[in-house]
Amino acid sequence: MMPPTLRRNLTRAELHALVTDLAARPEEWRHRVAHDPTARTYEQLNRDEHVAVWLICWMDDHDTGFHDHDVSCGALAVADGEVVEERLAVGGPPLRRRVRAGGVIDFAASDIHRIAHAGDHPAVTIHAYSPPLWRMGAYETLPSGELQRHSISYAEELRPLGGGSSLPGLALASDG
Ligand SMILES: [Fe+2]
């Protein structure tokens, strides 16, 4: 059973607690796990006026590319496997952290980050966004090095754009 709505938008701390709790209750979502080598798979577990909860399955080189969440803050819990998060930094390499099963990260609407699969095994993550995602920003690096933001619908799949993977320090080694 999904947590009851609070009839208001949730804070980062509340989203963090929500995904932590849900990731620890696989009986709620295990039957919806489906790994596809060609692309991440998404299952929306809950959506109301104030919060949307997603299950995302990752494997191989699946990678969101850099993006923001427009006006939504969010959190993700790694339920199985591992992912890597990078935060975009100007003038230096991205700030990078691996998140293994049991780990949770949260982010403000203004944060720009990228999530990629890591490790040898498929990963499962539980995400919550408040207010529910509607628009997102996807970032593209032009050959000149200029960064462009593209406004996209939450229904469009995030993926690395243009030279995004050639930004300094973006090699997503599986041992980092
Ligand atoms: Fe994100």
Number of domains composing the chain: 1
Residue 175 lies in a domain: no
**Rounded distance from Cα 69 to ligand 1 centre (Å):** 6
Residue 168 lies in a domain: no
> Measured on CA atoms in the order 138, 116, 87, 94, is the torsion positive or negative?
negative
**Rounded distance from Cα 143 to ligand 1 centre (Å):** 24
- What is the per-residue pLDDT for 7? 86
| CA–CA dist 52, 49 (Å, integer) | 8
Look up the pTM and report it: 0.86
Nearest to 133 by CA among 164, 157, 100: 157
Residue 141 lies in a domain: no
**Rounded distance from Cα 157 to ligand 1 centre (Å):** 11
Backbone angles phi, psi at 125, to 5 degrees: -125, 145
Backbone angles phi, psi at 19, to 5 degrees: -70, -30
Q: Which residues pair with 114 in a beta bridge?
A: 86
Residue-number span of the structural domain to which 65 is assigned: 12-133
**Rounded distance from Cα 124 to ligand 1 centre (Å):** 14
| CA–CA dist 125, 23 (Å, integer) | 8
**CATH number of the structural domain spanning residue 78:** 2.60.120.10
**Rounded distance from Cα 31 to ligand 1 centre (Å):** 24
| CB contact set of 45 (below 8 Å; sequence gap of 6+) | 2, 22, 28, 29, 32, 53, 54, 55, 126
Residue 82 lies in a domain: yes
**Rounded distance from Cα 108 to ligand 1 centre (Å):** 10
Q: From first to last of the 176 residues of the chain, give the pLDDT tens digit.
A: 565 667 899 999 999 999 999 999 999 999 999 999 999 999 999 999 999 999 999 999 999 999 999 999 999 999 999 999 999 998 899 999 999 999 999 999 999 999 999 999 999 999 999 999 999 999 998 999 899 999 999 877 777 876 443 333 333 333 33
Helix (H) or strand (E) holding 20: helix 12-23
**Rounded distance from Cα 19 to ligand 1 centre (Å):** 14
**Rounded distance from Cα 107 to ligand 1 centre (Å):** 8
> Measured on CA atoms in the order 117, 118, 122, 124, is the torsion positive or negative?
negative
Burial class, 167, CB count within 10 angstroms (exposed 0-12 / middle 13-18 / buried 19+): buried
- What is the per-residue pLDDT for 2? 60
- What is the per-residue pLDDT for 158? 79
Could you count the other beta carbons within 10 Å of the beta carbon of residue 92? 8
Q: Which amino acid is at 129?
A: Y
Q: Are 94 and 86 in contact (CB under 8 A)?
A: yes
**Rounded distance from Cα 4 to ligand 1 centre (Å):** 24
Residue 70 lies in a domain: yes
- What is the per-residue pLDDT for 70? 96
- What is the per-residue pLDDT for 173? 30
**Rounded distance from Cα 76 to ligand 1 centre (Å):** 9
Residue 152 lies in a domain: no
Residue 121 lies in a domain: yes
**Rounded distance from Cα 119 to ligand 1 centre (Å):** 19
Q: Are 67 and 141 in contact (CB under 8 A)?
A: no
Residue 46 lies in a domain: yes
**Rounded distance from Cα 151 to ligand 1 centre (Å):** 14
